[in-house]
Amino acid sequence: MRLIPFNKLLIVFLTVFTIFSANAAEIWVSPSGNDSNLGTKSNPLATVHMAMRKARELRRLKDPSIKDGIRIIVMNGTYYLNEPLFVRPEDSGTADSPTIIEADANAKPIISGGIEIKNWTKSTTIINGLKKGSVWVADAPKKAGSFIDYRQLWVNGKKAVRAKNTAGTTMERILSWNHEEQTCWIPFKDKSVKFEPGMEMFIVQWWSNANLRIKNIEVQKDSARLSFEEPESRIQSEHPWPAPWISKNNGNSAYFLNNAFSLLNEPGEWYLDKKNAKIYYIPRAGEDINSAIVIAPVLENLVEVKGTIDSPVHHFQFKGISFQYSNWLRPSQQGHVPLQSGLYLLDAYKLKQPGTPNQANLENQAWVGRPRAAVEINYANNIQFESCRFEHLASTGLDLNKGTNHNTVKGNLFKDIGGSAINVGIFSEEAFEAHLPLIIKDEREMCSDEVISDNLITNVTNEDWGTLGISAGFVRNITIEHNEISDVSYSGMAMGWGWTHTPNVMQNNKILGNKIHHYAKHLHDVAGIYTLSAQPGSRIEENYIDKVYNSPYAHDPFLWLYLYTDEGSEGFTIKNNWIAEKKILKNHNGPKGNIWEHNDPYVSTKIKDAAGIRAPYKDLEKEVVIDEKWGLQEMPKPYAIELIGSDFDIEKIKSTLTGFRIVGQELYQWKNHLVIYGKMNQPERTKRKLAGAFPSLEIKIYEDLVYDFQNFERCKDSKPASDWENIVLTANLPADEKLQKEYVEYHKIQFEKWPEVAKGFCNADFQQLQVFKKDRQLILVISIPKGESLDKLNPKTTENNPRVDDWNTLMKKYQSGIEGAKPDETWIFLNKVEVEAKK
pLDDT of residue 23: 40
pLDDT of residue 836: 53
Long-range contact pairs involving 140-149 (C-beta distance under 8 Å, separation at least 24): 140/272, 140/273, 140/274, 140/277, 140/278, 140/279, 141/115, 141/117, 141/296, 142/277, 143/115, 143/298, 147/274, 147/277, 148/115, 148/296, 148/298, 149/272, 149/274, 149/329, 149/332
Residues with Cβ within 8 Å of residue 37, at least 6 apart in sequence: 43, 44, 45, 46
Query: What's the one-letter identity of residue 522?
Result: H
Q: DSSP 3-state assignment of 828?
A: strand
| 342 within 8 A of 364, measured Cβ to Cβ | no
pLDDT of residue 808: 97
Look up the pTM and report it. Answer: 0.95
In degrees rounded to 5, what are phi and psi of residue 172?
-105, 175
Long-range contact pairs involving 212-215 (C-beta distance under 8 Å, separation at least 24): 212/236, 212/335, 212/337, 213/332, 213/335, 214/257
pLDDT of residue 593: 86
Helix 683-693, helix 650-657: angle, nearest 10: 140
Distance CA 712, CA 545 (A): 19
C-alpha 424, offset from chain centre: 15
In degrees rounded to 5, what are phi and psi of residue 755?
-65, -20
Q: DSSP 3-state assignment of 508?
A: coil
pLDDT of residue 592: 74
**Regions of the chain short of the pLDDT cut 70:** 1-24, 590-591, 835-839
pLDDT of residue 356: 87
pLDDT of residue 591: 66
